[in-house]
Structure 1
Amino acid sequence: MKVPKYYLVKNQIIELTAGLEPGTAVPAERELAERFGTSRTTVRQAIAELVADGRLERAQGRGTFVASPKMLLLPQVSFSSNAMSQGWRPGRVVVSARCEGASGVVREKLRLEEGEQVTRFEVLRTVDGEPLAHETVHLPGDLTELSERLEAQDSLYRMLGADYDMGIREVEDVVETIPCDPVRADLLGVSTGQPLLLVHRTGFGEGGRPVEWTESAFRGDRYRFVSRRTL
């Protein structure tokens, strides 16, 4: 099978940058083309894929640099615990919080009756100040009072269990990939169409009652999904 030239160059750039610290500048396209005996167009395509893969990052007017390593997404632990275990500083920004009538999809996920209300939190998750994930959380009833405590980085699951008798005992995660829409692109500071890792989570309380439904969109260039189970 014939391997495309840009793919060979892509692997050569990976070898060239292996072991370099994040933020290290990558040689210019012209220099790389001369080094690998190919065209700048081929180098440009290889770099574009490495940027999409999250290995490199571009800064307008400054050049191309080695990107920070991807964060491991471990579904069995919380976002904050996950980030801190990998040496990152987690943060949360509440974009909006409102009580509204549950839509058909939300009613189905939370097993609500028509006309029942839910609280909808829109949240940006950050690591070292950089937005990495956009979450939309749905909870039954009016819990908008939690907004300030969430902004202060209090644990949602701890609050639900301790203050509202809505402790979550089990979660179900459904994972898919989607292209980033313009709204999320603006919130996350990425390009429209960039791949996102979308996790639909339903949290179940006592007796299997659903008490949370959350959609979390993680930047595909900064995350790797890891799942380990005992068989």
Structure 2
Amino acid sequence: MDGCHFIHTRPVARTVGEQRVESPKLKYVQVRDHLRGLLADADPGMAVPSERELVQQFGVARMTVRQAVDALVAEGLLERSPGRGTFVAEPTLPATGIQGFTEDMRRRGLDTDSTTVLARVEKANGGIARALGLTAGDPVIHWKRVRRADGAAICIEDTYLNEVMLPGFLQAAMPASLYAVLDRRALRPTWAEDVFTAALATAEEAALLGIEAGEPVLQISRRALHRNRPIAVSRSVYVAGLHSAHVQYADL
């Protein structure tokens, strides 16, 4: 690779006396975090080691290395060039658009996964119908999930979607990111209204989040629209001690 600099890596395990001590983190998280630390001072276009070299250096499986690199590609820190290798990506401007849970957590350097509690078509009640600009009784998609970041339950996300605008949504495998699906369908929200409320966890919420009933939680109710057409309304319940909201204002 003419003209390319190369990033060198070292395994993340450390030695105490004669005993080798591994980090309690998942192996791919170790590789990912170590690579992310190296990227902080790397120039765009610098090549990163091949999967085979990373496997040898970290003593892990190729799939583990690939998972770590995939996470950094998803974050926009690395980019792959077929037939050439993987390189440090050009910096991008901070996202100013509306972000979903997956994008928000990735921006914070966390991996996400979800468990679907409920996914079905229902008849919209009066409140959901008004929020989505529908008539009571119209079909809506009801999708409820427990969302996790780096393995820890962060929130319960209860979402209603305009079924007419998302045909076939429930026939495919449930996606990791709703906003990614909306992007592909050219329906990404262009503006949203959020309402923040302090509350106490119900017994059901506590069971799903692994906390005690009555513990403080943060509720965020969102109505998301594509241009002037409502796409989704949701209510998210966050573990209060594991989430903070950052809001910026501008005098336009």
Return the offset for 1:83.
Answer: 1.7
Pairing partner for 2:190 from 169, 172, 185? 169
Moved more, 84-93 or 129-138: 84-93
Which letter maps to 1:117? P
Pairing partner for 2:142 from 108, 112, 120? 120
Q: Which 4+ residue blocks in structure 1 deviate beyond 4 angstroms?
A: none
RMSD (Å), alpha carbons = 2.3
Q: Hey, what does 2:119 align to over in structure 1?
A: 97
Return the offset for 1:147.
Answer: 6.2
Pairing partner for 1:218 from 212, 230, 238? 238
Which letter maps to 1:175? F
Pairing partner for 1:145 from 162, 165, 170? 170
Q: In 2, Cα distance between the equivalents of 1:189 and 1:213?
A: 25
On the 8 A contact 1:97/1:144 being kept in 2, the answer is: no
1:124-175 Cα deviation digits (max 9, x unpaired): 110111111001010012655266232xx2x312312423x53321111111
Q: In 1, Cα distance between the equivalents of 2:97 and 2:208?
A: 23
On the 8 A contact 1:199/1:217 being kept in 2, the answer is: yes
Q: Hey, what does 1:58 align to over in structure 2?
A: none
Which letter maps to 1:199? I
Structure 2: runs of 5 or more not aligned: 1-23, 25-95
Pairing partner for 1:79 from 98, 101, 109? 101
1:108 matched to 2:133? no
On the 8 A contact 1:110/1:211 being kept in 2, the answer is: yes
Q: In 2, Cα distance between the equivalents of 1:146 and 1:210?
A: 22
Are the structure 2 counterparts of residues 136 and 147 from structure 1 closer, same or farther at C-alpha, using a change threshold of 3 Å?
Answer: farther
Q: In 2, Cα distance between the equivalents of 1:157 and 1:77?
A: 8
1:187 matched to 2:183? no
Q: Percent identity?
A: 23
Structure 1: runs of 5 or more not aligned: 1-22, 24-73
Q: Hey, what does 1:130 align to over in structure 2?
A: 152
On the 8 A contact 2:97/2:190 being kept in 1, the answer is: no
Return the offset for 1:85.
Answer: 2.6
Are the structure 2 counterparts of residues 176 and 100 from structure 1 closer, same or farther at C-alpha, using a change threshold of 3 Å?
Answer: same
On the 8 A contact 1:97/1:147 being kept in 2, the answer is: no
Q: In 2, Cα distance between the equivalents of 1:226 and 1:118?
A: 31
Q: In 1, Cα distance between the equivalents of 2:239 and 2:120?
A: 25
Greater per-residue helix proportion: 1
| TM-score (structure 2 length as normaliser) | 0.56
Which letter maps to 1:104? G
Q: Hey, what does 1:29 align to over in structure 2?
A: none
Are the structure 2 counterparts of residues 147 and 105 from structure 1 closer, same or farther at C-alpha, using a change threshold of 3 Å?
Answer: farther
Which letter maps to 1:106? I
Moved more, 129-138 or 80-89: 80-89
- Larger RCO: Structure 1 or Structure 2 (Cα < 8 Å, ≥ 6 residues apart)? 1
